[in-house]
Amino acid sequence: MADLTGKTIAFLMAGEGVEQVELTEPWSAVEKAGGTPRLLSVESGKVQAFNHLEKADTFDVDVVVADADPAAYDGLVLPGGVANPDALRTDQDAVTFVREIVDSGTPVAAICHAPWTLAEADVVRGRRMTSWPSLQTDLRNAGAEWVDEEVVVDGRLVTSRKPDDLPAFNEAMVELFAG
């Protein structure tokens, strides 16, 4: 497995609505590779994860995204769930953070509905990517080439469709972050 020792990876989510497994499994993969995950959110305190539509665990926020310096992170993970990226794409601080991360060349990993935030940040044009199938029209309209594949790596971006893709997503994500 690739080594992330000394690397700090941002995980960005809204106050609630993230699919818990799409947060916890990539988080664990980063830790197992020696990296330091940090939870960023739109507000301080705790965030609420979900198992589909049922409330799951809460997680402590490390940094409010409005106060986060994109240069402090060696990678960005955007977990899915429907409500999470839908809320993030309406938060200007979150959208700006994502755009600055992508523009700086920092690698990004997004799963499920998370590419909505990338589309809002206007950073998918000309990219080959995947997502939950219901986003394909949104991503195509934003200029991406959408494909139905388990995991897609396009330069400094890795995307996957759903929780079942997490093993392949995590492997590609860690390799990309190890760079």
Strand residue runs (E) in 63-166: 63-64, 75-78, 108-111, 128-129, 145-146, 151-154, 157-160
Q: Give the residue carrying structure tokens 């809204």.
A: 14
Class of residue 125 by CB neighbours under 10 A (exposed 0-12, middle 13-18, buried 19+): exposed
User: Which residue, 14, 19, 8, is CA-closest to 161?
Assistant: 19
112 catalytic per annotation: yes
User: Which residue, 66, 106, 71, 108, is CA-closest to 88?
Assistant: 66
**Active-site position among 49, 77, 112, 121:** 112
Catalytic residues: 112
